[in-house]
Amino acid sequence: MQSSLRNGKPVVRAEVGKQIQPGRYEIRAYGLTGDVDCVIRQVSGKVTARSVLHQTIDLPQIQALQGHLFTADLASGEMVDISAFGKSGFSVSFTPAATKFAYSPRGAGTWVAGLDIPTGKFRLTGIRNSIRVWVFDADGRMKSCQYTDPLFDKEALGKITPLIRLNKGDVLVYFASSFSGSAAGDGSIILQSSVDAQMEREWKDTAPDKAIGQPITIETRAKNYVVGKDIPAGYYRIESVTNEPIIEFNVHVNGKDIDGLGVASSAVLQKTNELDKMNMMTIHVVEGQKFHISLKGKDGKRHNGIDLMSPFRFRFIPIDKINVNAKAMPPGIYAVGRDIPPGVYEYAGGDKHLKILEVASPEGQYISYSSGLRSKETKPHRVTLSKGQMVFISSDGLVNLRKKG
């Protein structure tokens, strides 16, 4: 298929059931002069778990793999968008790919455990690129999300080995980016069997029921704060020390060996307003977690710790244990089984507020749902919350969960 110009960019767009039939394909690009964006999405615009498949792949990596972008199972109702940076035209081939069992994924794409790759517990090794790995169950629900970026820390090369668990029928989705030229390799990973690895399904929660200790000053910085070292496990109300008005405040949480577990974000609905400096957010953090903060000022500027000359400072004030009303949850971080009862809930959007709900265990992100006024996503999602998971709430209002049964 030859690219055509869309909004000034060369794009190849293939709708499953029209330009290509449902099936498994090896997708390659020819004639590229720069990086490309690859997206698998629903034609209807509906947000699904597979909507997360959006990745930029850089040219040196594509060249190292003779034009290979990814291999994937494509279903009816889905669309593939491949757009190039720059204005030079290019072409894409969709070659039917036979199922071939291998002990590790053969490049970026989607791989079914028990069919394309083995089942079991594995460490991801051989990582020399920035990688994103998702695991979905057979029903399309996200089980985990792994993100590593060793290229920003050369000493980490070969040392970052995240754990994943693959059951029969699970789908592993893998993409990589090098962002540092051909020396970064071809983006391959190796599944190394790790039968004896301890995969924690619950956080070890040592947060006290009653507030103890003094307020702790936390600032925007590039380095993570480590719970249990820089700040005790516990419940905290966050106050702003700066006089600058803030319209968005974010707490980014990582695991011991995993980046990108979840984000809790508090924002204002009207940009003419600002967040309450005395109560930016309430959070519950436990040992084994790391975090950093970022924000957006009323002037529109974002602050994420890169500007070390003028960091924003906040007080984390210890508070007593909290009990959250699942029907009206404010932005924050909560533990299932302690702050929120475990069970099966329904979660829906469709009103005037932005709502993002993320759930994570120490193994990785379990699921992420986003909805808003323009998302067209009004049908309730069914969410199972299990004891020991952490829930991350982002909103410019309240997030509502309705318990089933």
Residue 176, pLDDT > 70, answer no
Residue 216 CA, distance from chain mean position: 28
Percent pLDDT > 70 in the chain is 77
Rounded Cα gap, residues 381 and 383, in angstroms = 6
> Mean pLDDT of all residues in the chain?
80
Taking CA atoms, 306 is separated from 86, 220, 223, 300, 342, in Å, by 29, 8, 10, 16, 38
Residue 180 has pLDDT above 50, yes or no: no
Rounded CA-CA distance 25/16 in Å is 11
- Given a cut of 50, whether residue 359 has pLDDT beyond it is yes
Long-range contacts of 17-23 (CB under 8 A, 24+ apart): 17/76, 17/77, 20/74, 20/80, 20/94, 22/74, 22/75, 22/76, 23/73, 23/74, 23/96
Mean pLDDT of 187-211: 75
Which residues, listed in sequence order, are joined to residue 192 by a DSSP beta bridge? 123
Residues 225-241: pLDDT tens digits?
A: 999 999 999 999 999 99
Amino acid at 388: G
Query: In this structure, are residues 337 and 237 in contact, taking their beta carbons and an 8 Å threshold?
Result: no
Element (H, E) at 80: strand 78-84
DSSP string, 337-387: TTTB--EEEEE---SSS-EEEEEEETTEEEEEEEE-TTS---SPEEEEE-T
- Stretch 294-305: mean pLDDT: 85
Which phi and psi angles does 184 have, rounded to 5°?
-80, -5
Judging by DSSP bridges, how do beta strands 262-267 and 390-395 pair with one another? parallel
> Is residue 16 over pLDDT 80?
yes
| pLDDT, position 64 | 74
Q: What is the pLDDT of residue 104?
A: 80
The per-residue pLDDT for 237 is 97
Could you report the per-residue pLDDT of 146-164, keeping only the tens digit for each? Answer: 666 544 444 445 555 667 7
pLDDT in tens, 84-129: 887 789 999 999 988 788 888 877 788 889 998 899 888 777 666 5
pLDDT at position 366 is: 62
What does DSSP say about strands 281-285 and 332-335: parallel, antiparallel, or unpaired?
Answer: parallel
What is the structure's pLDDT at 374?
44
Residue from 219, 215, 251, 225 nearest 333 by CA: 251
| CB of 80 closer than 8 Å to CB of 13 | yes
State the DSSP code for 20.
Answer: B
Contacts of 132 (CB under 8 A, 6+ apart): 55, 145, 146, 147, 174, 175, 176
- pTM given for the model: 0.65
